[in-house]
């Protein structure tokens, strides 16, 4: 069964550094998402992406964040200048369809980001 | 504003006993509700969604619009049901899932 994959599984970085988290969505899916979960807190929506454009973003997704689909398979989340509070588990998800009534979202295993 | 509330952080039940995980939501329109499960060291995966009206692994959930609830139930808990369960809501937003805080279920023999 196809799965969403994410690399790396754990990323450690210094405050102020740029990080890129990578995801390979399920191959025939068209809608892509990033979520994050700070330790002990809820899973929070960051951004949705379709047709090479951001469809929606949360208030967390400020100017230091960006997403890109650089080729036909990868979907990346870039954090330009990391802060301590960016330490979290970042989940990528994809779905075949989207829109106001979301199709089933399939999640990756997550990347644990630690900012020192 | 849309909100999902799971009041129980931890639910401990004996094998064979019924289990009910509570989920209440706040949303002005007609939401779509989901239950996701995360087994130890595994990814989040969809357990069920209210529009499909299926029973998965013996779990069922009924959307009660009057009480704005979507409680998850299973009549006889099994040890393999031990996991973290998240209730989630999708409204008008473009695919955004709003998650509750999650309930950790521990089934003891």
Query: Within a 10 A sphere around the Cβ of A51, how many other Cβ atoms?
Result: 9
Residues in chain B: 109
Identify the DSSP state of B79. G
Instruction: Measure the N-to-C terminal CA separation of chain B; round to a whole number of Å.
Output: 41
Residue range A35-85, pLDDT digits in tens: 999 998 999 999 999 989 999 999 999 999 999 998 878 999 999 999 999
Q: What pLDDT does A100 receive?
A: 53
Q: Does A39 touch chain B (CB under 8 A)?
A: no
The whole-angstrom distance between residue A102's C-alpha and the CA centroid of its chain comes to: 17
Contact of A62 with A43, CB cutoff 8 Å: no
Contact of B101 with B88, CB cutoff 8 Å: no
Q: Percent of chain A at pLDDT above 90? A: 82
CATH of A5-115, one of 3.40.50.800, 2.60.40.10, 3.30.70.1060, 1.10.1040.10: 2.60.40.10
List, in order of start, the domains of chain B with CATH numbers. 3-108 (2.60.40.10)
Mean pLDDT of chain A: 92
User: Could you tell me which chain B residue has the CA closest to the CA of A110?
Assistant: B43
Q: What pLDDT does A47 receive?
A: 96
User: Could you tell me which chain A residue has the CA closest to the CA of B5?
Assistant: A42
From CA B53, how far away is CA B105, in angstroms rounded? Answer: 23
Residue A99 pLDDT > 80: no
Question: Where residue A101 falls among pLDDT bands split at 50, 70, 90?
Answer: low
Structure tokens at B23: 């989920």
Residue range B31-42, pLDDT digits in tens: 889 999 999 888
Lowest-confidence segment of A18-22, B27-31, B64-68, B99-103 by average pLDDT: B27-31
Q: Which residue has the higher pLDDT, A114 or B96?
A: A114
Residue range B21-67, pLDDT digits in tens: 999 999 888 888 999 999 988 899 999 988 777 778 999 998 998 99
Distance in Å, alpha carbon of B81 to nearest chain A alpha carbon = 19
Please enumerate in sequence order all residues whose Cβ is within 8 A of that of A116, keeping only pairs 6 or more positions apart, or say none.
A12, A13, A14, A15
The full set of domain ranges for chain A reads 5-115
CB distance A42–B101 less than 8 Å? yes
Query: Within a 10 A sphere around the Cβ of A53, how many other Cβ atoms?
Result: 9
Closest residue by Cα to residue B56 from B77, B74, B71, B40: B74
Q: Does A43 touch chain B (CB under 8 A)?
A: yes
Residues of B in CB contact (< 8 Å) with A are 32, 36, 42-46, 49, 86, 90-102
Please enumerate in sequence order all residues whose Cβ is within 8 A of that of A42, keeping only pairs 6 or more positions apart, or say none.
B99, B100, B101, B102
Residue B93 pLDDT > 80: no
Distance in Å, alpha carbon of A9 to nearest chain B alpha carbon = 12
From CA A58, how far away is CA A102, in angstroms rounded? Answer: 16
CB distance B46–A104 less than 8 Å? yes
| Neighboring chain A residues of B93 at a CB cutoff of 8 Å | 48, 56, 100
């Amino acid at each position: 069964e196809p799965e969403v994959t994410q690399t790396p599984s754990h990323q450690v970085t210094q405050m102020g550094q740029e990080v890129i988290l990578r995801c390979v969505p399920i191959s025939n899916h068209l809608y892509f998402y990033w979520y994050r979960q700070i330790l002990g807190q809820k899973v929070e929506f960051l951004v949705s992406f379709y047709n090479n454009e951001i469809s929606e973003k949360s208030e967390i997704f400020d100017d230091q964040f960006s997403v890109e689909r650089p080729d036909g398979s990868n979907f990346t989340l870039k954090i330009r200048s990391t802060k301590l509070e960016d330490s979290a588990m970042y989940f990528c998800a994809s779905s075949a369809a989207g829109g106001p009534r979301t199709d089933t979202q399939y999640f990756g295993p997550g990347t644990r980001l630690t900012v020192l | 504003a849309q909100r999902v509330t799971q009041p129980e952080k931890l639910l401990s039940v004996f094998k064979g006993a019924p289990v009910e995980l509570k989920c209440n939501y706040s949303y002005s329109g007609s939401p779509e509700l989901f239950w996701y499960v995360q087994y130890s060291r595994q990814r989040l995966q969809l357990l069920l969604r209210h529009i499909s009206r299926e029973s998965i692994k013996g779990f069922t959930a009924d959307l009660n619009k009057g009480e704005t609830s979507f409680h998850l139930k299973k009549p006889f808990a099994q040890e393999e049901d031990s996991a973290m369960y998240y209730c989630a809501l999708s409204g008008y937003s473009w695919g955004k899932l709003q998650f509750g805080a999650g309930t950790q279920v521990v089934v003891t023999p």
